[in-house]
Amino acid sequence: MFNFFTTNPLLKILPRVKGKYLCNVNMAKHTWFGVGGDAEIMYIPKSPEDLAHFMRERPRNVPVFLIGGGSNLLVRDGGIPGVVIKLDAPAFKEVKVLNDEITCGAGLRNIELKKHLIANRLGGLEFLCSIPGVIGGSVKTNAGCFGREVKDVIVAATIINGAGEIKKIGVKDLELGYRSSCFPDDWIIISITFKAFVSSKEEIEQTLEEHKRYRKANQPYNQKTAGSTFKNPQGLRAWELIKKSGCQDLQVGGAKVSEKHCNFLINDGNATAKDIETLGDMIVERVRQKTYITLEWEIKKVGVEK
């Protein structure tokens, strides 16, 4: 579907699709930080087949970027050129259960998984429900918390590759590591199958509640943040290095270090993406000078500076 009320010339060279093309979409409304410029074009595919068609027919000189729930993302103030894909249609949020395996569409929000776990009496995936974002993004980054990671529970994923082919990929081919994966950037995950185990409604709800209480007590809650900012260096904790380096009270414009957890950066409501990135880079430099350790961003930074 095209919006013919726009003069954006990029629309004229993109393939016709059954989903939606939206022009000049404010990315601040699609990220947890609530900052960033516009996506030149946002494409919301109607189905996996629609997305596969787009990937096959798209101009190869047009940049394409997939956005998940926007929870682990910093979009720069100049926005994102090209096409931003968001799996927001119902076809990417379906859930199917077969015995102790549950297959989730990549666009399903992690928090929505909990109702399916409770309804089907499936345990072992409660940790996923407390991670911000959507299922597909959790796999891409091998998200984890409470002593578990996605790689501990994933069986397989269905992907669309850069050539527009739909394929099922086993967990070994995903090469999941600490907050990372090694599959090509032009692969798009469309669904994931997880291994769970039979549990009771009461046990699942109790675990979910414990996780929620911990998050509220130890991490910023109901604030504009993108989760952990930096990866933990091997054998160390990023927040301890940040605190040891005297960074816990730093602030740049409307961006500041969380008082609850210094590995979380906060938008106080007036921050720009530049404020947040500058603050993060300042922390990296101070930690490096103090400890000789270079922190690595866990948050993905995309787009162009204004």
Q: Choose one of 86, 114, 140: the last residue of a domain.
A: 86
Q: Which amino acid is at 238?
A: A
We report the CATH number of the domain holding residue 264 as: 3.90.78.10
Rounded average pLDDT over 243-262: 97
273 is written with which tokens? 């993406």
Provide, rounded to the nearest whole percent, the portion of the chain with pLDDT above 70. Answer: 96
Count up the domains in the chain and report the number: 3
Identify whether 228 is a catalytic site residue: yes
Q: Is residue 212 part of a domain?
A: no
HSE-CB at 247 with a 13 A cutoff on CA atoms is 32
Task: Identify whether residues 63 and 13 lie together within a single domain.
Answer: yes
We report the CATH number of the domain holding residue 32 as: 3.30.43.10
How many whole angstroms separate alpha carbon 279 and alpha carbon 107?
Answer: 31
Q: Is the pLDDT of residue 239 over 90?
A: yes
Rounded average pLDDT over 207-225: 92
Contact of 167 with 161, CB cutoff 8 Å: yes
Q: In terms of residue numbers, what domain contains 78?
A: 9-86
Identify whether 286 is a catalytic site residue: no
Annotated catalytic residue, options 179, 215, 286, 288 = 179
pLDDT band at 2 (very low <50, low <70, confident <90, very high): very low
Q: Is the pLDDT of residue 7 over 80?
A: no
Q: Is the pLDDT of residue 1 over 50?
A: no
Annotated catalytic residue, options 138, 199, 228, 245 = 228
Identify whether 298 is a catalytic site residue: yes
Task: Identify whether residues 51 and 106 lie together within a single domain.
Answer: no
Task: Identify whether residues 97 and 79 lie together within a single domain.
Answer: no
Task: Identify whether residues 262 and 167 lie together within a single domain.
Answer: no
